[in-house]
């Protein structure tokens, strides 16, 4: 199989490429990535000799068509995904998440190529902190930011192209990922790299917002199973029963670093900050037999800290610019 991976130099996409190269070596991998600030070819350095890398925009119709034409399947990771950035400038999110997805769908439609679409649980909005419910495949969409609304729009395009044009597509909506190669602007790597530098962590509001955390390796194992054995036209939710509030995440990281659990600061909350995400992944587990290997969140965090300690050369060039941006906005 020849597989096109869009956004394959980003956090989750690069980890997926690593997974495919190591676990499924008979698969030829082509990576398309625009190498915006969130993508880095260095994330693919360990597998560079085993893949084909193409720098380009997923909304470039001619380029996308030429790549899809010689592939058997597409896994579409490419996305703008940072909520704070979407509030500051929504346009890149419309361009990549909506127009980019449309461009890919038209290409796979023309060439009859299998398509898997990576989405997020944020399309469902949020839940109350004390609500026992979790998101399921049938949960109505209720996005609350330019990021989540453009991802919701892209999901709707995929479903429409499947129903109207017979595109062989599946969708997966995943909870919050953590692990190697995640950009230092994101919550967990920002806290880790600040702690490495001796900087006190900072939390929005009271730090009570809950996310359902999953290690990126578990996410990508699920994606492969859906691509290979998922039912065309279906949506699968990927989650590891990893609900933790942001305060607990920071306190756990402080413990890993041998610092007092209360050694952090609270800052003004961001607008529209969703309260709680929670995934019900029963369908994925029962149909495809998937289960997370990182079932203990504290162990996964400790492994992630170790990776950032060992790979300072990868994240250090991004750190100063990221912190300067946050300093300008008081975050």
Which residues are annotated as catalytic? Answer: 121-122, 147
Query: Which residues contact residue 38 at a Cβ distance below 8 angstroms, ignoring those fewer than 6 apart?
Result: 10, 11, 80, 81, 82, 183, 185
Alpha-carbon gap, residue 223 to 97, rounded angstroms: 19
Which H/E stretch holds residue 170? strand 169-174
Sheet of strand 176-178, all strands in order from the earlier edge strand to the far edge: 176-178, 210-215, 243-245
- Other residues' Cβ atoms within 10 Å of the Cβ of residue 106: 18
Alpha-carbon gap, residue 199 to 131, rounded angstroms: 34
Q: Are 4 and 67 in contact (CB under 8 A)?
A: yes
DSSP 236-261: EEE--S-EEEHHHHHHHHHHHTT--T
Alpha-carbon gap, residue 216 to 176, rounded angstroms: 9
Alpha-carbon gap, residue 105 to 113, rounded angstroms: 9
- Other residues' Cβ atoms within 10 Å of the Cβ of residue 101: 28
Alpha-carbon gap, residue 11 to 36, rounded angstroms: 12
- Other residues' Cβ atoms within 10 Å of the Cβ of residue 302: 15
Q: How many helices (H) and strands (E) does the chain have?
A: 12, 12
CA 113 to chain centre: 23
Which H/E stretch holds residue 128? none
Looking at residue 279, the DSSP 8-state letter turns out to be B
């Amino acid at each position: 199989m020849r597989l096109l991976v869009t956004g394959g130099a980003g956090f989750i996409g690069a980890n997926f490429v690593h997974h495919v190269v190591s676990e499924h070596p008979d698969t030829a991998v082509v990576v398309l990535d625009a190498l915006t600030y969130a993508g880095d070819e260095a994330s693919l350095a360990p597998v560079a000799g085993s893949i084909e890398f193409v720098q380009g925009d997923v909304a470039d119709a001619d380029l996308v068509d030429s790549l899809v034409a010689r592939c058997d399947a597409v896994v579409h990771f490419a996305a703008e995904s940072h909520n704070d950035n979407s509030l500051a400038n929504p346009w890149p999110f419309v361009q990549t998440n909506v127009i980019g997805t449309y461009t890919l769908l038209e290409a796979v439609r023309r060439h009859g190529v299998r398509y898997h679409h990576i989405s997020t649980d944020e399309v469902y909005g949020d839940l109350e902190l004390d609500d026992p419910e979790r998101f399921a495949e049938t949960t109505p969409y209720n996005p609350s930011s330019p990021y989540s609304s453009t991802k919701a729009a892209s999901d709707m395009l995929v479903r429409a192209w499947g129903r109207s044009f017979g595109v062989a597509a599946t969708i997966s909506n995943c909870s919050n990922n953590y692990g190697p190669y995640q950009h230092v602007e994101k919550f967990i790597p920002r806290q880790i790299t600040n702690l490495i530098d001796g900087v006190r962590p900072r939390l929005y509001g009271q730090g009570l917002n809950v996310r359902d955390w999953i290690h990126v390796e578990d996410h990508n194992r699920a994606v492969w199973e859906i691509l290979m054995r998922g039912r065309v036209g279906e949506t699968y939710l990927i989650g590891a029963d990893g609900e933790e509030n942001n305060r607990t995440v920071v306190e756990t990281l402080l413990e890993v670093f041998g610092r007092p659990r209360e050694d952090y600061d609270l800052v003004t909350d961001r607008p529209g900050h969703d309260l709680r995400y929670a995934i019900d992944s029963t369908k994925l587990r029962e149909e495809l037999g998937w289960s997370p290997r990182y079932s203990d969140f504290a162990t996964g965090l400790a492994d992630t800290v170790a990776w950032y300690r060992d790979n300072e050369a990868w994240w250090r060039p991004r750190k100063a610019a990221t912190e300067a941006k946050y300093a300008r906005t008081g975050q």
